[in-house]
Each structure stands twice: as C-alpha cells, then as structure tokens.
Amino acid sequence: MSSNPSRAALLVRALRAGVEHDRQALTDIYTDDVKTWTPALSTGSLQELIAEFDQRDVAFSNVELELAPLDVGGEYACVEWTVTMTHTGPLEMERETVVDATGVSVVLHGITVAEFEGEKICALRQYWDELSVFEQLGLVQADD
C-alpha cells in the first residue's frame, strides 16, 4: 500500500498530466476502468477519459496550476487547486453557441478527490464552481 504522501504526489502528477495533455502519464496513473466525474464531464474508463482530453477545446491558454495536497488517509488522496488561464480561443457553450475569445484572465478554485486501487487511481471526482468562469467572462451576472 502506498503512503498518503506518495498518493498525493501521484494525484498531483495526474492533474498536471491532464493540463499538459500527457497521454502516457495518464495511462500510467489511472486504472483501465477509472470512473471520473466533474461539473463538465463524466467518464467510465481510461479510454473515455483520454478521449475527453483529446477533444478538450482550445478556449483557454496560458494555463497555470497551483496545487496543495491535503492529508487524507486510507485509499484516498485529495488536492486543492487553483487554475489561472486566459480565454484566447472560441468557447463552445452548447453545440450552437460559441463565445469568441475575450482575452480575459480567469481564476478557478477547486478540489480533486482520488480513490486508489493499489498504485493507480480508480476513481476521480473534481468540484468547482463552473458558473464562476462564466461570471468572470461577463457571460452571466453574479448575484449580489
């Protein structure tokens, strides 16, 4: 069994691999039947997860990722994160709605929880406020 620090380090590596589109690292880190859920996607296998990364839009660039691993026990690891990125390409909201690049810098805060099976991640859940991205881009008004 891996230690909590080594599991947290593997989760950090997984998050960086997702941002950097490192397919080999994703294959090394996740089980073939990994289950993932985020506000933006849900997958039931490594193949589906990689396909989602391959289809990821090019709406944002200059992506910077800050990570803070948390001390969690058992078969779990948890990382708080902040992503800073610039809206530099078309953002597909729905199939027929596309928002042109605004040049706006967006800051997003979230948390990722990973469950392990042996030395690999078998389940991943991410939580963030997706609406805050739309607010920062001026697409919706924040409630005061």
Q: What is the pLDDT of residue 1?
A: 46
Report pLDDT digits (tens) over 18-28: 888 899 999 99
pTM of the model: 0.86
Does any domain span residue 91? yes
Segment 68-85 shows an average pLDDT of 90
Q: What is the pLDDT of residue 3?
A: 63
Q: Model confidence at 4, in pLDDT bands (50, 70, 90)?
A: confident
Does any domain span residue 76? yes
Q: Which run of H or E residues covers position 78? A: strand 76-87
Q: What is the pLDDT of residue 59?
A: 86
**Distance (Å) of CA 132 to CA 8, 137, 140:** 27, 9, 9
Q: What is the pLDDT of residue 72?
A: 79
Radius of gyration over every alpha carbon of the chain, rounded to an integer in angstroms: 16
Q: Which domain holds residue 58?
A: 4-136
Does any domain span residue 25? yes
Provide the CATH number for the domain around residue 94.
3.10.450.50
